[in-house]
Amino acid sequence: MNEAPASERQAWPLDEIVAALRHSREVTHHIRHRGAVRELPSRRVIAEVVEGLTAALFPTHHGREDLNDANIDYYVGNTLARVLPLLTEQVRRSLLCTLDGTDEADPHYHERARAIAAEFAAQLVPIRALLVSDLRAAYQGDPAANSISEVLLVYPGVTAVAYHRIAHRLYKLGATLVARLISEIAHSTTGIEIHPGAHIGESFFIDHGTGVVIGETAIIGNRVRLYQAVTLGAKRFPVDETGALVKGNARHPIVEDDVVIYAGATILGRITLGAGSTIGGNVWLTHSVPPNSSITQAQMRSDCE
Amino acid sequence: MNEAPASERQAWPLDEIVAALRHSREVTHHIRHRGAVRELPSRRVIAEVVEGLTAALFPTHHGREDLNDANIDYYVGNTLARVLPLLTEQVRRSLLCTLDGTDEADPHYHERARAIAAEFAAQLVPIRALLVSDLRAAYQGDPAANSISEVLLVYPGVTAVAYHRIAHRLYKLGATLVARLISEIAHSTTGIEIHPGAHIGESFFIDHGTGVVIGETAIIGNRVRLYQAVTLGAKRFPVDETGALVKGNARHPIVEDDVVIYAGATILGRITLGAGSTIGGNVWLTHSVPPNSSITQAQMRSDCE
Amino acid sequence: MNEAPASERQAWPLDEIVAALRHSREVTHHIRHRGAVRELPSRRVIAEVVEGLTAALFPTHHGREDLNDANIDYYVGNTLARVLPLLTEQVRRSLLCTLDGTDEADPHYHERARAIAAEFAAQLVPIRALLVSDLRAAYQGDPAANSISEVLLVYPGVTAVAYHRIAHRLYKLGATLVARLISEIAHSTTGIEIHPGAHIGESFFIDHGTGVVIGETAIIGNRVRLYQAVTLGAKRFPVDETGALVKGNARHPIVEDDVVIYAGATILGRITLGAGSTIGGNVWLTHSVPPNSSITQAQMRSDCE
Amino acid sequence: MNEAPASERQAWPLDEIVAALRHSREVTHHIRHRGAVRELPSRRVIAEVVEGLTAALFPTHHGREDLNDANIDYYVGNTLARVLPLLTEQVRRSLLCTLDGTDEADPHYHERARAIAAEFAAQLVPIRALLVSDLRAAYQGDPAANSISEVLLVYPGVTAVAYHRIAHRLYKLGATLVARLISEIAHSTTGIEIHPGAHIGESFFIDHGTGVVIGETAIIGNRVRLYQAVTLGAKRFPVDETGALVKGNARHPIVEDDVVIYAGATILGRITLGAGSTIGGNVWLTHSVPPNSSITQAQMRSDCE
Amino acid sequence: MNEAPASERQAWPLDEIVAALRHSREVTHHIRHRGAVRELPSRRVIAEVVEGLTAALFPTHHGREDLNDANIDYYVGNTLARVLPLLTEQVRRSLLCTLDGTDEADPHYHERARAIAAEFAAQLVPIRALLVSDLRAAYQGDPAANSISEVLLVYPGVTAVAYHRIAHRLYKLGATLVARLISEIAHSTTGIEIHPGAHIGESFFIDHGTGVVIGETAIIGNRVRLYQAVTLGAKRFPVDETGALVKGNARHPIVEDDVVIYAGATILGRITLGAGSTIGGNVWLTHSVPPNSSITQAQMRSDCE
Amino acid sequence: MNEAPASERQAWPLDEIVAALRHSREVTHHIRHRGAVRELPSRRVIAEVVEGLTAALFPTHHGREDLNDANIDYYVGNTLARVLPLLTEQVRRSLLCTLDGTDEADPHYHERARAIAAEFAAQLVPIRALLVSDLRAAYQGDPAANSISEVLLVYPGVTAVAYHRIAHRLYKLGATLVARLISEIAHSTTGIEIHPGAHIGESFFIDHGTGVVIGETAIIGNRVRLYQAVTLGAKRFPVDETGALVKGNARHPIVEDDVVIYAGATILGRITLGAGSTIGGNVWLTHSVPPNSSITQAQMRSDCE
């Protein structure tokens, strides 16, 4: 047999492809900032961290299954001891990516990352308090919910809010890239996208949830309830004199206490939904409404039928 | 060097955090019912069970890749023998969580769980029959579908319906928490949320699917087809004299045979869509329609243009 | 003790169930084409391939974390050398499933699969060029984006488009089933469904993205931007004289350069959105619009208020 | 193509082989005691248990690498909480296998297994004390040893003795099958075989170790040192009147304090090596020697040279 | 900061090392036969195959733990269906490596490998029969053995003999490299080395076993018992006229029925140990002995004491 | 039911055990040097490093199975790029453990570890050259060896020597603890123990190998061959005036070129075996022998028979 077996022939010119990809990376389609290879946060590690934090917050539901009064504190302490250093390193990489090594006193941000992780750890109990208020809101708000355990184990809205409350603290502490990765992990799992910058009060409940989008500067009061496919978005994106987007200004809605927003409603711009209002399904709303308003698509439509 | 290396200093007061979390769990933000740590169903194990059941139902598509006439029955039998006991244990935990140990004759529900798993196993062939009707409906209903194999391997709507048919049987047999976890696994994977209580006839097809929500008491006939973002939801949630939600009453639509509902339609309340009707995209519908109706948003809007 | 312990009693008649499932597979509910067990593509392997390709395209963001100038080419070359043969085998299975073994010269399609994989490999650099244009479009198009790195690590729209660009090439080369599985993996992860047949120009950006559906024959120009829940779908499905769906004809929109389509808009049928147009949120559109149109739901409604 | 592809032809008559193996199991070559399928200990789980116990005993050397003063107790507590229940279940299975269900009060031995595991747990500190004495003996006894850490991380003799000390306690408590599996895991890893029944005093050191065999009824004093390939075995195996082996009688050597036995020495039978004796390499010894004896092969041979 | 961070500097000249290793492989220290890269057997896969075969032979001891009368045949059949194709591929690679592609009818040996695997599968029941005889011999031969289950779970000699009986069949069928890898896996695990060419009768027992070596052309009768460190080896290695070793001639001992060989005995050359003989510990024997001999080192030594 | 279920009762006083173990660690049985928790080398990581190095040295036998001329350098380069940094970190920990942080210029030894790893990397080609000489020696020295591939895949002696050649270089470069762990991994796998300090010439072959022990200061020439259970050990361990062992002096044999030592021979002390000598099986030798000696046990014994 003169012919080489298939596995030894070269099906594709590997050297050429590798060289062309290098050329693309370094010359033609260069996207790396300032040329340096940089340590970046890892989605996989961050997912592991958030699972650990969730287990530490609700060990009997999200931790190991054999926990009891005698061993639960060991489990919680060991889990935190395992994931907080992982979080520290991810925060450091987040800072490195965001701040670009400009801190002369700590060019690799070890100390700042430790301080952020420590401050975050100190807020775990307040985070848990908020999440308990969310669980109760979910149990009370859904006629299909049979127990708090079911809500905690099953509801995607609860998962998304738990991830958000963790991400939001990290966002406020300056670990923005870690925070966004946590949000995106929740988004991928639940279909609910909450920007970690959004401020959300206690007893918050999202039912069903697929397609919900809550923007970076949204402010949500206490006891608010949302359904699937609700958008709390920006109306337009102002550009500066050079035509570039103005980043970071307040551009998403303020939702006051005790508001309910039904499925598919689209609320856009820095408007205020007054306390106690109800926004009907599929409503498209771009102006503020006073407290205790009841806005429905049906009403709007009835005018023209 | 007088300073301890970083790894030995304490970045956060671990003992304090652990104690505060315990206080939160047991005193301040106590959510555990009646104080007992309880064995809970495991989402990971339930995912493994449903994957095994799917492989047993469609071994050449979802099982090991080397199956042939001589070994396929061993594969199916062994797969069922592996996952049915896992299911039994998850059902037991579901009962424990739902029924709260009040059954004096079998306080840990082993026997009841075995009976449920056995009854479920006996219904695998009828479940497969329904799923085959669903596959055919998908193949016939989507112009982009090239083969039944493609439909079975690729379509998220098929996955969601397969998981639902399994979850629904378990729900009817009393394993409600297991059933909801199965639904939620499908929801996370496909963006399609079908409450396991929903009754769905044969030859059911959901195309694309992201954002579909089908409520607990919905009843769907044969040969129904849905597109993405369709909601079969509840209109309002009645409260009892104490202000608490009334749970469990019939509150979702009845969809009769041969109805098609296009993307984004919202159907709310215990209304009936008559057989053979077509509901257009984005339609908002809260009243029953007679058989063979054709409801479109365009029509409604044309009145006001 | 006369009674057998629980683990030895038969909770379910395993032999009967296995036999009934076989009967269902082979007689009652037979769905296998022509009776032959066939090697089918594996979703798990395809997911591994696309992860490897993504790592080879953007090694510092999606590859191993310790890459530097000295070792990066080894990483890229080795990653491609590992996944291209896996891709070849999946392409072969895709052909086998699609073409049904009718090619007498190569009944198992090894050579054709190798040629497709080689041709695909040769297009990796152009694919990377397109993806770099997409990354820049995302960075410029979202006020919340802080860096290209953040966009590449976090944005689900970027993931979906990256998977699409890979899937589209394979689709054009004839590996349709592999291409659809890649699309579906992206759909499951991001909630964005892009049929691999869709043709998409450079600098494409989908923001948020959950619920986006882009159909098989859609054609999208350069610098187009979409938001969540946008549908580029088919209006109706023509049937042939036998009542069967006509498959494969052009039935989805043409979106010209520089169009922006806001969240929830539904664009149906083989219509054309003229270059530079803006389509408002939740708009329902089934007819072409000229260049530089600005279509909003609000405008339509204002007529009847 | 008329011929079935290779993967579908039957290379071997699977049904026949399975049936023949069943016949072999149940009729021809039946080895199962009393016909019942029985839960048996798992070597894999036992290996995991012993690794966990070793980590709890020496956490900085065999535990997670990031331990410090603040988190080490959580690690130790959590590790024990994880492995002690696993041990309990393995002990239960060991009892079931050994005792054959004859205990009417607890036919499945849950309570007895719990009591054994609890008693074992109470002895972890004494076990650690013995192991510390062994480590010091190794460090002092080997000129190649540079630190206690090196001894603890590297020396197979230390591993074998650590496993033995754990196994011996379990053996004494009645978990004989678990104990033997632990011994055999150490044997496989180190080449050193110590029957868990052997009684060994403090400060015991085996250097190199491959080929060492220490029998069930051996008794070893304090500060004893052995080298590779030493056998402390039985001389002959008495049979009873029916010709069956008499099991369990004292048949292995007694080695008093401060004895050194060099490589390859074979010591057989219930003899006593007096305190402070030295037994030379390759010596074959079947009779007792008084304290402070020095026995060498060379000496024996010098008689005939 | 002008200095590149550590992770970006090149600690070693990777390109140079890779090039030098290639030069070593291809020029200076070239060991590959005939230059072709070749598919080689995989130790990892072979280990998986032998574990599967062992589980199929003794499912209640080495298979999944929940087996019962109803599911055991599915487990056995499925296990064989999984590992026999893996074995076939490893046999093919073994042939490729051994036979060097000289078979024109099947240059890659698929068919031959299938035939060998099929023939091997047909011999599983006889192999099991032999192993049952071995288990009984172990139980009867060791006073420390409490049950057949213990022997099957714990004894390294039983593992080594089980692997040998599998390896020997494959060796006889021509899969020599697979056979040697199986032997070597057993050697690594147990310290017992049995060349797969050795012929061993029924009811064979090796106690303790570390250091046992049994050579390629050894022939062992029925009911033979060996202890640790026994060698059945070759005395000298004849060379041919060119000085090269003569390979494959009979050069190891023949051990007749009912022989017992105690620990450390060295038996060298093509000699015969007559039936019923007993060879004492540490004996060095290079000449045949008649039936019912009793050879001990002590006897030899007594001459000179 | 008043009684808590078993899983909630405390079977063992966990807090007490944890506290007692802490007391044991810190007070009673304290073995940690100077009280500091220290980063220690990891056996698991070192095993991964050596597997990677072996794969880089012999990629077609120990690397990924699909290597060919086009991709092999990428594999080798990527493998080295992956494992050399892991090695660097393990070397750093080895230094930390050995040198005790007394180097003020680099208290954590990063730079020294990098230099050692780089120097080691530069010696990979000479290591490969030696190993090729060893492979040829094995092939030529064993009548049962059929090919170089078989030798490289199967022979435990080859594995042990390969690990030794890697360990020896690291030992000479000062990474003594890493080196010893590598030796011990080989010992556990093969039963062959070679101290990394031993100096071994080219074309070295150990056949069978179980029980071989080669001491720290042994010096072995070229073309030496050993069989199983050979010891090259120390005769006695001198103590200093305080009674402590004198560590590190030359105390093991010198074996000159072309010596063969048969199974079970024990060679003790700083003696010299002259070039070309043959040492028979089981010989006990504590004095030097001139070149071309032939020493056999039989000869020694023949004196007294």
Band (F26; pLDDT cuts 50, 70, 90): confident
Q: Report the CATH number at residue B263.
A: 2.160.10.10
Helix and strand numbers (H, E) in chain C are 10, 14
Taking the CA of residue B9 and the nearest CA in chain D, the distance in Å comes to 8
Eight-class DSSP state of E266: E
Inter-chain residue contact C37 with D107, CB threshold 8 Å: no
Q: In this model, does residue B54 exceed pLDDT 70?
A: yes
The reported pLDDT for the residue numbered B294 is: 95
The predicted model gives D25-48 an average pLDDT of 78
What residues in C contact E69, CB-CB < 8 Å?
8, 10
For chain E, which residues lie within 8 Å of any Cβ of chain C, measuring from their own Cβ?
7-10, 14-15, 18, 66, 68-71, 74
Provide the residue range defining the domain that includes E290: 211-239+246-305
CA atoms of B260 and B227, how far apart (whole Å): 8
CA atoms of D188 and D122, how far apart (whole Å): 28
pLDDT one-digit tens code per residue, F218-266: 999 999 999 999 999 998 767 777 777 677 789 999 999 999 999 999 9
Q: Considering the domain boundaries, does residue D1 fall inside one?
A: no
D180, D217: one domain: no
Q: Which amino acid is at D253?
A: P
Taking the CA of residue E287 and the nearest CA in chain F, the distance in Å comes to 12
Q: Which residue of B has its CA nearest to D9?
A: B68
pLDDT one-digit tens code per residue, B192-213: 999 999 999 999 999 999 999 9
DSSP for F84-132, written as a single string: HHHHHHHHHHHHHHHHTT--TTSTT-HHHHHHHHHHHHHTHHHHHHHHH
pLDDT one-digit tens code per residue, F160-194: 999 999 999 999 999 999 999 999 999 999 999 99
The reported pLDDT for the residue numbered B5 is: 44
For A160, phi then psi, to 5°, come to -60, -40
Q: In this model, does residue A93 exceed pLDDT 70?
A: yes
Q: In this model, does residue A305 exceed pLDDT 80?
A: no
Q: Helix, strand, or coil here: D72?
A: helix
Say which residue, E133 or B304, is predicted with more confidence: E133
C97, C153: one domain: yes
Give the burial class of F102: count Cβ atoms within 10 A of its Cβ; 0-12 exposed, 13-18 middle, 19 or more buried: exposed
B2: how many CB neighbours lie within 10 A of its CB? 3
**Beta-carbon contacts of residue E269 (< 8 Å; ≥ 6 apart):** E234, E235, E236, E251, E252, E253, E286, E287
Identify any residues that bridge with A289 across adjacent strands, giving them in sequence order. Answer: A273
ipTM of the complex: 0.90
CA atoms of F140 and A303, how far apart (whole Å): 99
Q: Are strands F278-279 and F260-261 parallel, antiparallel or unpaired?
A: parallel
Q: In this model, does residue D58 exceed pLDDT 60?
A: yes
With tokens 């948020």, the residue in question is: C208
Inter-chain residue contact D37 with C101, CB threshold 8 Å: no
- List C-alpha distances in Å: D23 to E62, E128, F28: 18, 11, 60
Q: Considering the domain boundaries, does residue D65 fall inside one?
A: yes
Best of A67, A69, A74, A114 to substitute, by most chain D Cβ atoms within 10 angstroms, is: A74
Give all chains having 3 or more CB-to-CB distances under 8 Å with chain E: A, B, C, D, F
Q: Considering the domain boundaries, does residue D186 fall inside one?
A: yes
Give all chains having 3 or more CB-to-CB distances under 8 Å with chain A: B, C, D, E, F
The predicted model gives F72-94 an average pLDDT of 95
Q: Considering the domain boundaries, does residue A152 fall inside one?
A: yes
B187, B46: one domain: yes
The reported pLDDT for the residue numbered B147 is: 87
The reported pLDDT for the residue numbered F132 is: 96
A110, A226: one domain: no
| Beta carbons of D213 and D125 less than 8 angstroms apart | no
Eight-class DSSP state of E247: P
CA atoms of E285 and E261, how far apart (whole Å): 11
Q: Which residue of A has its CA nearest to D65?
A: A82
B188, B270: one domain: no
The reported pLDDT for the residue numbered A36 is: 55
Taking the CA of residue B73 and the nearest CA in chain D, the distance in Å comes to 10
The reported pLDDT for the residue numbered F304 is: 32
**Beta-carbon contacts of residue D242 (< 8 Å; ≥ 6 apart):** none
E199: how many CB neighbours lie within 10 A of its CB? 12
Q: Considering the domain boundaries, does residue E179 fall inside one?
A: yes
Identify any residues that bridge with B206 across adjacent strands, giving them in sequence order. Answer: B226
The reported pLDDT for the residue numbered A35 is: 45
CA atoms of F212 and F214, how far apart (whole Å): 7
Q: Report the CATH number at residue A152.
A: 1.10.3130.10
pLDDT one-digit tens code per residue, F137-151: 999 988 888 889 999
Indicate the residue of A8, A36, A37 with minimum beta-carbon distance to E36.
A8
Provide long-range contacts, Cβ within 8 A and 24+ apart, for A114-118. A114/A88, A114/B6, A114/B11, A116/A88, A116/A91, A116/A170, A116/A173, A116/A174, A116/A175, A117/A84, A117/A85, A117/A87, A117/A88, A117/A91, A117/B11, A117/B12, A118/B11, A118/B12
pLDDT one-digit tens code per residue, E128-186: 999 999 999 999 988 888 889 999 999 999 999 999 999 999 999 999 999 999 999 99
CA atoms of F254 and F251, how far apart (whole Å): 10
Indicate the residue of D61, D145, D211 with minimum beta-carbon distance to F40.
D61
Token pair listed for D71: 């988190």
With tokens 């579909």, the residue in question is: B212
**Beta-carbon contacts of residue D243 (< 8 Å; ≥ 6 apart):** none
Domain endpoint, select from A157, A192, A227:
A192
The reported pLDDT for the residue numbered D1 is: 32
Name the region of B101 (left: φ>0; alpha: ψ -120 to 50; beta: rest). left
For E226, phi then psi, to 5°, come to -120, 155
Give all chains having 3 or more CB-to-CB distances under 8 Å with chain F: A, B, C, D, E
Q: How far is CA B279 from the centre of its chain?
A: 24
pLDDT tens per residue, chain E (305 residues)?
Answer: 333 444 445 688 999 999 999 998 888 777 765 545 578 999 999 999 999 999 999 999 999 988 988 899 999 999 999 999 999 999 999 998 877 656 666 777 899 999 999 999 999 999 999 999 999 999 998 888 888 999 999 999 999 999 999 999 999 999 999 999 999 999 999 999 999 999 999 999 999 999 999 999 999 999 999 999 999 999 876 777 777 767 778 999 999 999 999 999 999 999 999 999 999 988 889 999 999 999 986 543 333 33
- Radius of gyration from C-alpha coordinates of chain F: 24
DSSP for C21-75, written as a single string: HHHIIIIIT---GGG-------HHHHHHHHHHHHHHHSHHHHS-TT--TTTHHHH
CA atoms of C175 and C182, how far apart (whole Å): 11
With residue C79 as reference, give the H or E element that holds it: helix C72-99
What residues in E contact D284, CB-CB < 8 Å?
281-282, 297-298
C58, C98: one domain: yes
Q: Considering the domain boundaries, does residue F87 fall inside one?
A: yes
What residues in C contact E66, CB-CB < 8 Å?
7
Q: Which amino acid is at A109?
A: Y
CA atoms of A43 and A184, how far apart (whole Å): 9
Mean pLDDT of chain F: 88
Indicate the residue of E14, E68, E71 with minimum beta-carbon distance to C70.
E14
Q: Considering the domain boundaries, does residue E200 fall inside one?
A: no
CA atoms of E120 and D29, how far apart (whole Å): 19
Inter-chain residue contact A4 with E36, CB threshold 8 Å: yes
Helices (H), chain D: 14-23, 43-57, 59-62, 72-99, 110-122, 124-141, 148-154, 156-172, 176-190, 297-302
Band (B296; pLDDT cuts 50, 70, 90): confident
F139, F229: one domain: no
Give all chains having 3 or more CB-to-CB distances under 8 Å with chain B: A, C, D, E, F
Give the burial class of A268: count Cβ atoms within 10 A of its Cβ; 0-12 exposed, 13-18 middle, 19 or more buried: buried
pTM over cut 0.90:
yes
- List C-alpha distances in Å: D288 to D256, D279, D283, D295: 11, 12, 13, 11
CA atoms of B226 and B161, how far apart (whole Å): 12
Q: In this model, does residue A70 exceed pLDDT 60?
A: yes
Q: Domains in chain F: how many in total?
A: 2
With residue B16 as reference, give the H or E element that holds it: helix B14-23
pLDDT one-digit tens code per residue, F204-228: 999 999 999 999 999 999 999 999 9
Q: What share of chain A is helix, strand, coil (3-state, %, to 5)?
A: 45, 10, 40
B45, B145: one domain: yes
For chain F, which residues lie within 8 Å of any Cβ of chain B, measuring from their own Cβ?
1, 4-5, 7-8, 36-37, 39, 101, 107-108
What residues in B contact D10, CB-CB < 8 Å?
68-70
Q: Which residue of C has its CA nearest to A234?
A: C143
Inter-chain residue contact B68 with D14, CB threshold 8 Å: no
C228, C132: one domain: no
| Beta carbons of B190 and B172 less than 8 angstroms apart | no
With tokens 């080397």, the residue in question is: B66
Q: In this model, does residue D102 exceed pLDDT 80?
A: no
Helices (H), A173-197: 176-190
What residues in F contact D296, CB-CB < 8 Å?
none
Inter-chain residue contact F14 with D211, CB threshold 8 Å: no
Q: Considering the domain boundaries, does residue B216 fall inside one?
A: yes
F85, F144: one domain: yes
Say which residue, E157 or B110, is predicted with more confidence: E157
E235: how many CB neighbours lie within 10 A of its CB? 16
D66, D125: one domain: yes
Count contacts between C and F (CB, < 8 Å). 41
> Block means of pLDDT (10 residues each) for chain C, length 305 residues?
45 90 84 64 96 96 90 95 96 85 72 95 96 95 87 96 98 96 97 98 96 97 97 82 76 97 94 97 92 76 33
Identify any residues that bridge with F53 across adjacent strands, giving them in sequence order. Answer: none
For chain E, which residues lie within 8 Å of any Cβ of chain B, measuring from their own Cβ?
64, 66, 70-71, 73-82, 85
For F240, phi then psi, to 5°, come to -85, -175
Q: In this model, does residue D302 exceed pLDDT 50?
A: no
C117, C157: one domain: yes
Closest Cα partner for D185 from D157, D207, D164?
Answer: D164
What residues in B contact D66, CB-CB < 8 Å?
7
pLDDT one-digit tens code per residue, A119-172: 999 999 999 999 999 999 999 988 888 889 999 999 999 999 999 999 999 999
The reported pLDDT for the residue numbered D303 is: 33
